[in-house]
Structure 1
Amino acid sequence: MNENELLKRINVLEYHQKLLIKLLNDPSLELYKLIIENGISEQEVGQFYSLCDKMNIKLEEQKAEGYVHFHPLFHELSSSLPPTLRIKEVINACLTQKVYLSLFQELLKYV
């Protein structure tokens, strides 16, 4: 293992440690559990939140335009997730943790 790989692993562990401390205070933070269990990095989580921000805006725009089916958003999220995460687990964890509620309530219909 080279130095860069070792530093990446240390960064992931430090990030997971921060999440674990939050979990001690609130065990219902399911998304954090999922992140830790699947070894997701802080950078990957940032990309996920950024994607959710964009999708949330798209959802609101599409609702305003009269859309009633949001299957393309479901597929976009599904294809953008890190390979270790499953879409159903992510949706359920986000709903439990109350993250992007309107978006994930809508996407839950397609699971």
Structure 2
Amino acid sequence: MDLDKQIGKVEFYQRLLAEMVSEERFSFYRLVIEKGLSEAEMQEVIQVVTELDQQFEEQKEMGYIHFSSLLVHFAGMLNPKLKPYEAIQALKSQGICVNLMETLMPLAYEATLWDKK
């Protein structure tokens, strides 16, 4: 079997495995596979989210009630293969920085509605 056929077979199996993975439990990993992110790209997303989560907690302690600047930062630093709202949904479903994602989700949803007008 030549290399192209082997690669095609591996890609096919990857798609099948992605379909088998529970959307709720591993939704971010599934999104990573669907969008074709590398391991380094995925780690960058996790790093950005972790840093934003720290900023979020600090801002809450200081009494902030508006967090749209965190969404802007998230969207600006997000890998271009991902859309902010779908990434936020997937991260939240997988249990990654849940409080931050719950705060950003309605803001991101409003932004997606604005983009469609």
The C-alpha deviation readout for 1:45-70, integer Å capped at 9, x for no partner, is: 11111111111110000000000000
SS for the counterpart of 2:32 is helix
The code of the aligned residue for 1:39 comes to: G
Structure 1: segments with no counterpart, 5+ residues? 1-9
1:36 aligned residue: 33
Contact 2:21 2:30 (8 Å CA) reproduced: no
Q: 1:110 aligns with which of 104, 107, 112?
A: 107
> CA offset at residue 91 of structure 1?
0.8
> CA offset at residue 73 of structure 1?
0.5
- Is residue 2:41 matched to residue 1:48? no
TM-score, normalised to structure 1, is: 0.75
Q: Percent identity?
A: 31
What are the within-5 Å matches in structure 2 for residues 1-111 of structure 1?
20=17, 26-28=22-24, 29-111=26-108
TM-score, normalised to structure 2, is: 0.72
SS for the counterpart of 2:42 is helix
> CA offset at residue 27 of structure 1?
4.5
Q: Find the aligned partners of 2:64 and 2:89 in 1 and give their Cα distance.
A: 23
Structure 2: segments with no counterpart, 5+ residues? 1-6, 109-117
Rg (Cα) greater in structure: 2
> CA offset at residue 83 of structure 1?
1.0
RMSD, aligned CA = 2.2
Q: Find the aligned partners of 1:70 and 1:89 in 2 and give their Cα distance.
A: 18
